[in-house]
Amino acid sequence: MSEANTLVLGAKSDTPSRVEFQTSPETYRHWQLSIDPPVATLSMDVDEQGGLGAGYELKLNSYDLGVDIELYDAVQRLRFEHPEVGAVIITSEKERVFCAGANIGMLSAADHMAKVNFCKFTNETRCAIEQASGESGQHYLAVINGSASGGGYELALACEHIMLVDDGASAVSLPEVPLLGVLPGTGGLTRLVDKRRVRRDRADLFCTTTEGVRGERALEWSLVDELVPASKLDEKARIRAVSLSQKTGTSRDAQGINLVPLVRKISRTALRYPYLKVDIDSTTSVANFTVCGPDQSPPVGPEASLELGAAFWPLALARALDDAILHLRTNRPDISNWVIRVVGNGSLIRAHDDFIVRHGGDWLLREIRLYWTRVLKRLDVTSRSLIALIEAGDGCSGTLFELALACDRIYMLDGNDSSAISLSAMNFGRLPMANGLSRLQTRFLGDSSRITELRKAMGKLLSAQVADSLGLVTGIPDEIDWDEEVRLAIEERSSFSGDALTGLEANLRFAGPETIETKIFGRLSAWQNWIFQRPNAVGPEGSLRLYGTGQRAQFDKMRV
């Protein structure tokens, strides 16, 4: 299934203006990555002329999607290529400026879909930083060496520790409400009160003050963790980073793997990767995913998986799915239904799951599991209708059954003796959703007896009738009704309002407890997306349109 890698950002193709999510440090335009174990430094130095779109300049380390794509790539590479790194410093190469946040010119010119995808991807990258600090022993330290406003301060908020230069001028701020008439779009409000425990009244004052807060007050209000004189900033940052790297006592003598460029082919009608193909039908607005299981048994030990590197099946498939999801989400908004099928040998899939669980202390296998967690979460928050079809074979097993559990509906063909699903240990908490629960726990919310029953069925091949009795599938049409019922389900879905479906799916997918993540992707993102469409922000006299012109926005003061 491997095909030559084609198409790069800016290249001519049959997919015009395609956003490319694949990059590497040697081609970065906006970040500098340096490694001095156990510390890595990611320095922001945004190329003002390097925006993805035309008509705006990325001044003062302001960023667009292209800047964040590089950041996402760096976070990924640090986890897989540099296990010797225990702490990552995020700072700026520019004097007196850390980051001015999302570029206003970009936001004012972008259509609504582009704004939504930008905020969603940026949030996912910030959550990946927090996961690295929390579960990978790769701790992030923000060294704010100048003004950090809006999304710039939100980037710092994603880090475990925030160090601010104490020069009497540098400040942190979230000025979106008074300055732009919008909200911090990458989790700023939620992280202030839920993560950093900033008092509500102080957070209110902070978020309505254009100039922000500096020095001792920023420290007193818990907006930062440490103040350092400018003359000692580099020295103190290194000391703090080394201290963070020792926090979990993780061994740093492992050898990383190379995340080689993806082998793929992308066209208007298809995506092709090893272990994954996606066929796109524009007439029915359907992307048909065919996910392939492994073609051989797992290696005998963790050392052998290290030798396989990026070609190791679970990692290769996770990378392919990640890229396909991002491509379709950003570049193909016309495709509203994603239909997922799995093919493969269920016993081999379960063997790989057992291998990852059995050697869970190995750094590479841990990172592969955490990567699958991120990819599945990305699927969870994707605004597309997701339908799983289980027609033949037993490939929908373990980790690959999680793809079905992430879908809005699961249809399984009844009467086909070769069709079966099965569960593995990976289905029971090792790939949690944003709400902190497994997809089975979310499916059977509050019913612990059902989870106990399913644990007893782990490893068994479950027919359509049994899967239906256990509540694991939505429907089990027989061969006579299969084609018609699937066709009607997709056609009906395509006839509904896309806006209504986005709201419906987002509400139904995240039953259970609230977490910082669910608030960011549900509550905050929903409000931000709504505000982005209002005249106060994007109308002829809206704040985003008039920013930088010297004219004041004319706000409609009516509350809705």
The pLDDT assigned to 211 comes to 94
Looking at the domain assignment, is residue 477 inside a domain? Answer: yes
195 and 297 together in one domain: no
- Quote the pTM value: 0.94
The pLDDT assigned to 161 comes to 98
Looking at the domain assignment, is residue 559 inside a domain? Answer: no
Residue closest to 189 by CA, chosen among 205, 203, 168: 203
Looking at the domain assignment, is residue 3 inside a domain? Answer: no
**Lowest-confidence region among 11-20, 70-79, 143-152, 421-430:** 11-20
DSSP string over 400-454: HHHHHHTSSEEEE-SS-TT--EE--GGGSSSS--TTSS-HHHHHTTT-HHHHHHH
| 463/412 Cα distance (integer angstroms) | 9
- Under 8 Å between Cβ of 50 and 58: yes
Q: How confident is the model at residue 62 (pLDDT cuts 50, 70, 90)?
A: very high
- Please state the rounded mean pLDDT for residues 30-44: 97
149: β partners: 173
Higher-confidence position of 502 and 259:
259
Looking at the domain assignment, is residue 516 inside a domain? Answer: no
The pLDDT assigned to 378 comes to 98
Calculate what percentage of the chain has a pLDDT beyond 90. Answer: 83
Copy the structure tokens of residue 259. Answer: 């995340």
**Lowest-confidence region among 202-216, 372-386, 527-541:** 527-541
Looking at the domain assignment, is residue 514 inside a domain? Answer: no
313 and 408 together in one domain: yes
Q: How confident is the model at residue 288 (pLDDT cuts 50, 70, 90)?
A: very high
The angle, 0 to 180 degrees and rounded to 10, between the axes of the packed helices 346-358 and 313-331 is 100
Average pLDDT, the chain: 93
Report which residue type is found at 95.
E
117 and 172 together in one domain: yes
Looking at the domain assignment, is residue 469 inside a domain? Answer: yes
- Please state the rounded mean pLDDT for residues 393-405: 97
pLDDT of residue 399 exceeding 70, the answer is yes
301 and 229 together in one domain: no
Q: State which of 245, 274, 309 marks the end of a domain.
A: 245
Residue closest to 101 by CA, chosen among 70, 53, 155, 62: 62
pLDDT digits (tens, 9 = 90+) for 443-485: 999 999 999 999 999 999 999 999 999 999 999 999 999 999 9
| 154/312 Cα distance (integer angstroms) | 35
285 and 225 together in one domain: no
Task: Give the CATH number for residue 452.
Answer: 3.90.226.10
Phi-psi region for residue 17, left (φ > 0), alpha (ψ -120 to 50) or beta? left
84 and 185 together in one domain: yes
Looking at the domain assignment, is residue 528 inside a domain? Answer: no
Q: Which residues contact 549 (CB under 8 A, 6 or more apart)?
A: none
pLDDT digits (tens, 9 = 90+) for 83-120: 999 999 999 999 999 999 999 999 988 888 888 899 99
| 485/483 Cα distance (integer angstroms) | 6
279: β partners: 270, 288
pLDDT of residue 16 exceeding 60, the answer is no
Q: How confident is the model at residue 400 (pLDDT cuts 50, 70, 90)?
A: very high
228 and 329 together in one domain: no
pLDDT of residue 13 exceeding 60, the answer is no
**Lowest-confidence region among 11-20, 203-212, 382-391, 423-432:** 11-20
> Range of 170's domain?
25-245
Please name the residue that has the structure tokens 């209002």: 534
The pLDDT assigned to 547 comes to 85
Number of domains, the chain: 2
pLDDT digits (tens, 9 = 90+) for 424-451: 999 999 999 999 999 999 999 999 999 9
pLDDT digits (tens, 9 = 90+) for 343-393: 999 999 999 999 999 999 999 999 999 999 999 999 999 999 999 999 999
52 and 151 together in one domain: yes
pLDDT of residue 250 exceeding 80, the answer is no
**Lowest-confidence region among 151-155, 437-441, 492-496:** 492-496
524: β partners: none
Phi-psi region for residue 454, left (φ > 0), alpha (ψ -120 to 50) or beta? alpha
